[in-house]
Amino acid sequence: MRVGTVREVKNHEYRVGLTPESVRELAAHGHEVWVETGAGQGIGATDADYRTAGAVIKDAAAEVFAGCEMIVKVKEPQAAERALLREGQILYTYLHLAPDPEQTADLVKSGVTAIAYETVTGPGNTLPLLKPMSQVAGRMSIQAGATALEKAHGGRGVLLGGVPGVLPGRVLVIGGGVVGFNAAQMAVGLGADVTILDRDPEVLERLGIHFESRAKTRFSNRANIEQMICEADLVIGAVLIPGAAAPKLVTRDMLKCMKPGAVLVDVAIDQGGCFETSHATTHADPTYVVDGVVHYCVANMPGAVARTSTYALSNVTLPHALRIADLGWKAALKANPHLANGLNVHAGKVTYEAVARELGYAYVPVADVLGEALFAP
């Protein structure tokens, strides 16, 4: 199969879909790989590095889209890129379709077979292709929040770890999944006063066992959220519903009791955000203020640490890319129900139920597309 990757064009996105090491693996399996010139610049990978690994360097993204059977990216295709997609082509990338009706309409119109990293599952209903970016975003959320709390950036002027004789900052993490756990790890490591909210008793027990007395846990409900955000210096929104828009857990009314200069970091912004007052920002202009509360809502946080993020992502996406290239998309999905869960759009049909429900499309189950029942790996 001819597989291609292009330079990401989203604002301040420096990651790349394939590393030189990934190209070498694909080439070793007998596949041809096309790479747009400069695609790896953001991670310090030169065209020469890709050539050495076995890639063919192309001058323009349009050449890669036109000539390759599978396109491997990081972020969702932008409007100019979506115009280059075609029926029968495979798109393998993050999509986040539920809050993005324009992208969904374009993918449906193109006829492309779109496999979304964020809905590929693993054993125990995990999301292994989302996990490394959730780890990065969770850890970055505390760095970003700590910076936003500085007076020069509009914050309260609070040092999260405090100093001897001065209380540490209070951090509220809403959601105890991968993002929330990693955020809490960083906040606890800085010496902050950390509370984690979640609705799952097993998650709360696991967090309690791990952090012991270093972080507090509370059940997540409206009353507890309202109470805790009034006391918090930094609030991390870390709630994800796979493939669907994030729930709005913090309303604008709740901001009225927050301390002036307190900070909200919405890690769920790729899925529409979990704060009512959230809207996507960029690394170039990351924050804005609503009712005296600083909002940090950068939509592609891991892009700021592109090298770490790219290699962490490649570790989990490459095995499936190899399987798709080796077997073809249909056989690969038939053989692996977890990968099949990644199929969001195919030949003008929406094949992921949460996206179809959210955006009003008819839902076509993946099993119907494949023409037979999936069997366990």
Read off the pLDDT of each residue in 236-242 and give the average, rounded to a whole number.
87
Instruction: Please give the structure tokens belonging to residue 239.
Output: 């709630």
Q: C-alpha distances in angstroms, 254 versus 224, 245, 247, 248?
A: 12, 21, 15, 12
Residue 303 or residue 204, greater confidence: 204
- Find the helix packing angle between 201-211 and 178-190, rounded to 10°: 30
C-alpha–C-alpha distance, residues 314 and 19, integer Å? 7
C-alpha–C-alpha distance, residues 331 and 309, integer Å? 29
pLDDT at position 42: 96
What's the chain's average pLDDT? 95
Per-residue pLDDT for 375 more than 70? no
Give tens-digit pLDDT for 325-362: 999 999 999 999 999 999 999 999 999 999 999 999 99
Per-residue pLDDT for 300 more than 90? no
pLDDT at position 184: 98
Per-residue pLDDT for 310 more than 90? yes
pLDDT at position 372: 60
How many Cβ atoms sit within 10 Å of the Cβ of residue 112? 24
User: Which of 273-299 are b and which e, b meaning 16 or more Cβ less than 10 Å from the residue's Cβ?
Assistant: bbbebbeebebeebbeeeeebbbbbbb
Per-residue pLDDT for 373 more than 80? no
Catalytic residues, by residue number, are 96, 270
C-alpha–C-alpha distance, residues 37 and 55, integer Å? 11
Give tens-digit pLDDT for 191-212: 999 999 999 999 999 999 999 9
pLDDT at position 376: 42
Domains in the chain, CATH or no CATH each: 2-127+306-370 (3.40.50.720), 131-304 (3.40.50.720)
Q: Could you tell me if 127 and 338 are in contact, meaning their C-beta atoms sit under 8 angstroms apart? A: no
N residues, the chain: 377
Per-residue pLDDT for 241 more than 60? yes
Residues contacting 161, CB < 8 A, separation 6+: 168, 169, 190, 191, 192
Per-residue pLDDT for 39 more than 60? yes
Classify residue 135 by its DSSP letter.
Answer: H
Read off the pLDDT of each residue in 202-223 and give the average, rounded to a whole number.
96
> At 150, which helix (H) or strand (E)?
none
pLDDT at position 83: 97
Read off the pLDDT of each residue in 138-157 and give the average, rounded to a whole number.
97
Read off the pLDDT of each residue in 70-92 and give the average, rounded to a whole number.
97
Phi and psi (nearest 5°) for 355? -70, -45
pLDDT at position 303: 83
Q: C-alpha distances in angstroms, 200 versus 132, 140, 177?
A: 22, 24, 10
pLDDT at position 243: 65
Residue written as token pair 């379709």: 97
pLDDT confidence bin for 377, thresholds 50/70/90? very low
Supply the DSSP string of 311-366, one letter for each residue. HHHHHHHHHHHHHHHHH-HHHHHHH-HHHHTTEEEETTEE--HHHHHHHTPPB--H
pLDDT at position 180: 97
Residue type at 244 in one-letter notation? A
Give tens-digit pLDDT for 85-143: 999 999 999 999 988 999 999 999 999 999 999 999 999 888 999 899 999 999 999 99
Read off the pLDDT of each residue in 74-95 and give the average, rounded to a whole number.
97
Ranges 160-174, 268-282, 330-344: which has the least confidence: 268-282
Residues contacting 102, CB < 8 A, separation 6+: 79
pLDDT at position 13: 87
Q: Could you tell me if 204 and 175 are in contact, meaning their C-beta atoms sit under 8 angstroms apart? A: no
- Percent of the chain past pLDDT 90, that is, above it, reads 90
Nearest Cα to 67, choosing from 12, 24, 5?
A: 5
Residues contacting 214, CB < 8 A, separation 6+: 188, 194
Strand residue runs (E) in the chain: 2-5, 32-36, 56-58, 70-72, 90-93, 113-116, 170-174, 193-198, 215-219, 234-237, 263-266, 287-290, 293-296, 343-346, 349-350
